[in-house]
Chains A and B, each alone.
Chain A
């Protein structure tokens, strides 16, 4: 039998305006974890989609165990025991977790769904691999992190042998990532062969055996992980060394920009409130970071601030204006920009082209419309400016349909739109999710530039490295409450982890409610 369980040879795939894969060869050994690395738009997802039968290659062959195979659709892939967790999940929003997991392979007896049996099996798998899910919750009601776990369970449920993970860790917490790494290793030890895409080099170093690097659709080579370093990999990928540390000027907090008082936001998932009386402020010229494990109220808090979700009580002020009851549009006009967590659900209109998406938050401004008519030329040239300024890569420029862009480039488009609005307050949830190291470097620099330009930045991140690196002040959110406040240089990742897990809770959190408008007390902590 051949050494390789899967061989993709000379795969070429062209999309309008881009050669997504240009004679790429990838060989997956039986029982190895094989990483796929490359910049945003390098063609990783395309290559994996070809293996999973979603796209047909223009040329090239795929072999399984040395035999040439034709994979016309995901059913063929499933028959070949190939499973995939997509970068953007493919779940049925209105179905429950359970229904999604066995969708298409429903266990039936005489045409009747053996529901209990299926449920039992899912619960066992979820227990065995520590993938906690709420089996009866609807997909649209659960967090992105849990949706991810549903996707993984889906593959495990189908007993797939070849597992493709397209950026599985982008939404997980450090704790969850560690768990996933253990799961992946466990799966490999069980003899499964794994393809693993990630932009996080340390993860690749940690979990994989070999790594293939793509750059602009071309294969840059395959290396053994034990003979390589993070620096080597990033150079291979980008073609230049990467700056991992963020350069920041001195902290000069200015006027109060955002004041949140006793904010209570209901939860869609359960009867309790998602945000339970949170009070905090963000000043001009500082980056405040809300750290916490996913599902502790971050999303709801941000939706409340940006007006997408209704609040139960409390108040929100922006530069002294009461905006508690303001509409989304009013808040946006008053200077709030929002980089949303779920770029497909909120951030983009996937069937619009890039230009139309880039003006989504300001198409009504006189610059882009005249008497209700869209000024096409202006929209186009504005889009072109952003595309070149933010290095958004899209096959047909401003006319590319957003759906066809790579995940990282979609994210760059949103970031460009929100930052270019020149907001007073930039609210960003997981802004670097799914970006390559080069792009992350760039986004961090942009966030810092906003801060240095005297803007307020509220950053929600699950990644402690990012939290420690970028923020001026860290608030830890646990079960809808702020349980601790730190300056990054006075704390450690370990300490933050304890607070995030709810193991510890500082008194300051209680104190901060009484300090509300007293900026002096707050300043004292920084000096």
Chain B
């Protein structure tokens, strides 16, 4: 028994898992403290909402899945690039471009949903390729380029959408000119199918996008860990010189990695805005979905399979936050939720400490158990 636990603890990845869970715990504790600070009387109620609202009804649970899907995709956009040594802070811009491509092809060209999703991937890929190209050929740090491309992406998409009347809601008789059309009016075929899940869950939020995201995450995992393509990508990320020495085309791989990462984020945008329930609002702020990919990836230590779960966690907390609404102001909820998410991600820095503690535990147990064997 002891031996089995010991083996489990020494398994690579186990410490990452424990660290992630501990990090979430730390984030939640801070969230509770903030709740008490802002409104002590309702703090337990609020905390209860954060912890349990996500599973309080099938409708809420649908919402968790609904928001988790694009988060998985932006998380993958950050995590995949990170595994190959690139810090893709541009998931937001790639997400924007994916959104635009999905809406444009879905509405103007009347693409069916799957084709519009592919178009979204292309859009994200183009936006991801830019920092990749700059990095590969001019050695410009991808962080700087991708931040710039976030803003370029936001304003380009806003300008484009504002000037294509057909994609806007008021073209279909709605009263708000600052948002894109309701897909049900513009092109029902572009709405991601629900395959009867809406009947089962009794919610219009649910569709197959969560499953699409999970499949993509699994594919990303296999590409990274089981293929020679992934071997090359990671080699470039870990040690560019050694990968060049091994005859790997490092430049090509940097660009490819960013293209793939970008297509993930782009797909995230497509998934969200082709759900039939979301309409893009033309605003001067970057959508949080892209940036939230960063804590999602951090929390999962960039492991694509872990990203599925960390995205679920982040989405779950967000749904819980919404449920605190009248008791807590929306802004305060945003602060609390962000604190929980980001603290969770950053307390992962404690991973080293946790690993040490685990090792100590193993040693103590080994000593006590071996003593046990000596005594008759």
Residues of A participating in the B interface, judged by any CB pair closer than 8 Å: 16, 58, 306, 308, 327-330, 332, 338, 340, 345-352, 356, 360-361, 363-364, 368-369, 372-374, 376
Contacts and interface: CB of A to CB of B under 8 A. Distances in A.
A328 B10 contact: no
Quick one: which of A360, A361, A368 has the most chain B CB within 10 A?
A360
B172 interface: no
B243 A349 contact: yes
B235 A374 contact: no
Given A58-B363, A340-B245, A373 B239 contact: no
B231 interface: yes
A338 B243 CA distance: 13
B1 interface: no
Interface in B238-270: 238-239, 241-248
Contacts of A364: 228
A374 B228 contact: yes
B226 A328 contact: no
A373 B227 CA distance: 4
14 contacts: A327-B247, A328-B246, A330-B247, A346-B241, A349-B238, A350-B238, A351-B239, A352-B238, A360-B242, A361-B247, A363-B231, A373-B226, A374-B227, A374-B231
A372 B227 contact: yes
A372 B228 CA distance: 6
A466 to B, nearest CB: 23
B245 A308 contact: yes
A340 B228 CA distance: 23
A352 B246 CA distance: 14
B229 interface: yes
Interface residues of B, number: 19
Contacts of B231: 356, 363, 374
Nearest to B363: A58
Contacts of A16: 10
A346 B247 contact: no
Given A363-B228, A364-B228, A347 B245 contact: yes
B131 to A, nearest CB: 20
A364 B231 CA distance: 10
B363 A329 contact: no
Given A308-B245, A328-B244, A352-B235, 5 more contacts: A328-B245, A360-B242, A372-B228, A374-B228, A374-B231
A374 B226 contact: yes
Chain B interface mostly: helix
Contacts of B363: 58
Given A372-B227, A374-B227, A308 B235 contact: no
A373 B243 CA distance: 19
Quick one: which of B226, B231, B241, B243 has the most chain A CB within 10 A?
B231
Contact of A308 (B228, B229, B239, B244): B244
B245 A346 contact: yes
Given A349-B238, A349-B239, A338 B245 contact: yes
Interface string B42-75: 0000000000000000000000000000000000
Nearest to A331: B247
Contacts of A374: 226-228, 231
Contacts of A351: 238-239
Contacts of A306: 245
Contacts of B247: 327-330, 332, 361
Contacts of B242: 345-349, 360
Contacts of B248: 329
A18 to B, nearest CB: 13
A345 B229 CA distance: 22
Nearest to B230: A374
Nearest to A356: B231
A8 B230 CA distance: 45
Nearest to A327: B247
A348 B246 CA distance: 10
Nearest to A399: B12
B32 to A, nearest CB: 33
Contacts of A338: 245
A376 B230 CA distance: 13
A292 B235 CA distance: 33
A100 to B, nearest CB: 19
A140 B253 CA distance: 23
Nearest to A140: B241
Contacts of B239: 345, 348-351
A86 B229 CA distance: 35
Nearest to A346: B245
